Amino acid sequence: MRKQFYPGAVFSFLLLLSINLFSQTEPWTTEQLMEPQNLATLINDSLASKPLIINIGPAGSIKGSIKIGPTNDRDNLDKLKNLLSKEDKNRTVVIYCGCCPFKNCPNIRPAFLLLQKMKFTDPKLLNLSNNLKIDWINHQYPMAN
């Protein structure tokens, strides 16, 4: 009995394998993305409990945020670690960069991985999928003075 060769099946297998190998899996889940409108609402609500908002990039500062600077720089990542070491692990922490689209951003992954490593229970990444200007400033959400 002769075995049949299925080139289409081999091609499909190789395609799926290459997609899995080369697709970037992000350290955050969709539930850990915070929509800009939701954060703006929290900032503007005087009665709302405020998350810790941290600017981990070179872009402008959102109202109430702490500027650390680009976390692709080891010194800034260490500054972030020092800041976080003084915080309650159950506090909501929102990080953002806003320099460029997520797929190109060198700052959000090291910072988010640090939040996970330090065992924060409610880490959030502000969903600035384009950049700070398009996803925040153009909507006239609050900026630091």
Q: Tell me: the pLDDT tens digits for 18-53? A: 444 444 589 999 999 999 999 999 999 999 999 999
Q: Which residues contact 61 (CB under 8 A, 6 or more apart)?
A: 55, 67, 143, 144
List domains and CATH numbers for the chain. 29-139 (3.40.250.10)
Is the separation of the CB atoms in 99 and 86 below 8 Å? no
pLDDT classification of 73: cutoffs 50, 70, 90: very high
Which residue would you say has higher pLDDT here, 64 or 59?
64
Q: Are 97 and 128 in contact (CB under 8 A)?
A: yes
Mean pLDDT for the stretch of residues 114-126: 98
Mean pLDDT across 81-108: 96
On average, the pLDDT of the chain sits at 89
Write down the residue that tokens 């080369």 correspond to: 22
The model carries a pTM of: 0.82
Report the sign of the C-alpha dihedral through residues 145, 126, 40, 75, in that order.
negative
Lowest mean pLDDT among 8-12, 75-79, 89-93, 132-136: 8-12
Q: What confidence tier does 66 reach under pLDDT thresholds 50, 70, 90?
A: very high
CA 53/CA 62 separation, integer angstroms: 8
